[in-house]
Amino acid sequence: MRHILFDNDGTLVDTEIIAVRSMLSVLRETGFEMSERDYCARFPGLLETDILEILRRDYGANVGEEHLELSRKRFHEMFPTELRAIAGMPDIFQQLKVPKSIVSNAGLPHIERCLRGIGLQAHLDGQMFSAQQVAQPKPQPDVYLHALQQLGLHPSETLAVEDSPTGVRAAKAAGLLVIGFLGAGHVHDDHGEHLHAAGADLIADDARALRLILQEKKVL
C-alpha cells in the first residue's frame, strides 16, 4: 500500500450529523417530521439535491430549493461551534507511514475548511479531490478514478476509507480495497450491514478498529 484515500464528511470530521440536524429543522417548519435515525438510514452519503427529490417523490414533502438554501445557511451557522473531528481520526491521519489524500463529493472550499477547523490541513501530504472536478459524483467512480490518475497510482496500491454506501460503491467501482467506517455521530444500528452490502471489504466500528486494520496493512 502506497497511499490512503479518505472520505471527509463522516470519516475524518463529524459533519454529517450537523447537516442532518440543519435539514431536519427546516423540514419540521414545513410540517414534515422524520427522526434523525430514520433520516440517516435513508439518505447516507447522498447529494442534497438527490435528498430533496426523494423527499418530494417518496414522502410527499413540500420542499423546494429555498428550503435547501435555508438548510445550508443553518449548517454554516452551526459549523463553527459544532465542527468536531471524529474521535481518534486525527492521530491516525498524522501517524500514517504513507501519504494520504481526501476524496469527497463536497467542494474543495468545504474540505479545506474542515481540515483547517480540526487542525489537519498542515498534515495533508497528498491532495484533495472533489466530485466537482469530474462528470459524476459518488456513487459513480469518477472522483476515485481521477484521484488515482492524478496520483499515478494503481488501485492495488491504495485503499479507501468510507462511511456511506454511496462512497463504498464509488471506491469499489474504481477497483479499490474499501474499509467501511462506523465512527461518526450519524451512524445507527445496521449501518455496517449496509456498508458491507455496498461492497466494503472490511468494517471498522471506530478509529481504534481502523487503527488495527491499518497496522495489519503495515501503513500505520
pLDDT tens per residue across span 143-165? 999 999 999 999 999 999 999 99
Q: Predicted confidence band at 45 (pLDDT cuts at 50, 70, 90)?
A: low
Residues 85-124: pLDDT tens digits? 999 999 999 999 999 999 999 999 999 999 999 999 999 9
Rounded to two decimals, the pTM is 0.85
Give pLDDT tens digits for 18-32: 888 999 999 999 999
Q: What is the pLDDT of residue 124?
A: 96
- The domain segmentation of the chain, as residue ranges, is 3-14+84-216, 16-82
d(CA 78, CA 96): 31
Cα–Cα dist 18/92, whole Å = 23
Residue 41: the pLDDT is 79
**Predicted local distance difference test score (pLDDT) of residue 19:** 86
Instruction: Provide the pLDDT confidence category of residue 173 given band limits of 50, 70 and 90.
Output: very high
Report the pLDDT value the prediction gives residue 20, as an integer from 0 to 100.
87
What's the CATH code, domain 16-82? Answer: 1.10.150.240
How far, in Å, are 59, 61, 143, 172, 189 from residue 39 at the CA level?
Answer: 12, 13, 26, 25, 13
| pLDDT of the residue at 145 | 98
The answer to whether 172 touches 198, Cβ cutoff 8 Å, is: yes
Q: What is the pLDDT of residue 203?
A: 97
- In the Cβ-directed half-sphere of 205, how many Cα atoms lie within 13 Å? 4
CA–CA separation, 213 and 26 (whole Å): 39
Q: Above 80 in pLDDT, residue 186?
A: no
Cell match 459533519: residue? 15
* Better-predicted residue by pLDDT, 190 or 78: 78
In CATH terms, the fold of domain 3-14+84-216 is: Rossmann fold (3.40.50)
